[in-house]
Structure 1
């Protein structure tokens, strides 16, 4: 795997509101937080840019609404934001980080960045939507599957899918559809440690 010298890490919606398990239910990937932390640390150590994305929900009662403690980044992310200049903060009210403030696409293009690694919450929601749009916009997107997590979900006709099944569906759609390359944390960290190919 080659990681370009200025590839950006997008850390999507790792917020305290997702810790309210009574609202969200069962999640998958219990080690995702440790992997996200390791990727932020690896990115910072390599001098590459990190973008922190926060969902400012406009839905009344949402645990991600501004002014509510759940809107804040989880502690391990906030601690890392405080190091190395903080990185770019993008806020959004919809599923894609590319429809946020400031303009992510404009910032990436101005910096000459063509490759993105995407991690965060939820796998099949904002992380997937951001990856799909990144692919549509022509970026080389690495979707770090095991550094994301999601929750069981009920859809139409009473259909219910568990978090693992939803994550697999996302991985197949993104990878098989050519939107992103689905990868694992270990191989990404290995590429960073090898210098990433410049």
Structure 2
């Protein structure tokens, strides 16, 4: 894997759900992912990926989950259990601290913020595909939260739409080691073109030879 696999002008990072509620220790969902996040050194990995991507001049697309409101899903025919749980917990509450960007991963000038997704896929009912095509993107690199829900669903949809998909296995987290294993070892090979560690991605983006 080399930079040739990630052509300039055609490659973008998709940073999924970089909210306080996921990434700050006081966040509502941090306890859900904390054990795995600490094990993989999630914050350090995300910082390293973002730094390298920006230095390479590749665009960053922020792919945010819907910010919760009290009457979400009222009158819906069939909200999922996942959505009903969110309605009770109100993660990423609109106007609240938890729905603000984590300061270490907030959008920078030039970053592109996608419209919010209601389920797991960053593509479903959003403008992500349209924005990627308008920027001539063909290769997407996925990081963020959670590995077996929003990251996986977004990656699957990307592959179905014809994008080259790279997952960075230690720049995400999940509620358990089993969920991470399922996301990367069982499910990802069915759709992802590359499944890399942060180190492997940085090697590819900087042209460093692997020993």
TM value normalised by structure 2: 0.77
Q: Could you tell me which residue of structure 2 aligns to residue 65 of structure 1?
A: 93
2:15 to 11, 24, 34: 11
CA contact (8 A) 1:174 1:181 kept: no
SS, match of residue 147 in structure 1:
strand
Identify the match of residue 118 of structure 2 among 93, 110, 113.
93
User: How many Å apart are 1:21 and its aligned residue?
Assistant: 5.5
Partners of 2:30 and 2:103 in 1: CA distance = 20
Alpha-carbon separation, structure 1, partners of 2:207 and 2:157: 29
Out of 102, 112, 115, the position equivalent to 2:136 is 112
Q: Distance in 2 between matches of 1:50 and 1:39?
A: 11
8 Å CA contact retained: 1:132, 1:180:
no
**What count of residue pairs does the alignment treat as equivalent?**
179
2-structure distance, mates of 1:23, 1:34: 18
d(CA) in 2 for partners of 1:39, 1:26: 20
User: Which structure has more strand as a fraction of its residues?
Assistant: 1
Aligned to 2:80: none
Tell me if 1:35 matches 2:45.
yes
1:24 maps to which of 17, 32, 49 = 32
Matched, 1:150 2:174: yes
CA spacing shift, 1:8–1:100, aligned 2, 3 Å: farther
| 1:95-137 residue CA offsets vs partner (Å, 9 max, x unmatched) | 1111254x11111112221100000011111111101111111
Q: Does the 8 Å CA contact 2:166/2:192 hold for their aligned counterparts?
A: no
Aligned position for 1:126:
150
Give the root-mean-square deviation of aligned CA atoms: 2.0
Supply the distance in 1 between the matched residues of 2:102 and 2:192 (Cα, whole angstroms).
Answer: 28
Gaps spanning 5+ residues in structure 1: where?
152-162
CA contact (8 A) 1:131 1:180 kept: no
Structure 2 stretches of 5 or more lacking a match? 73-86
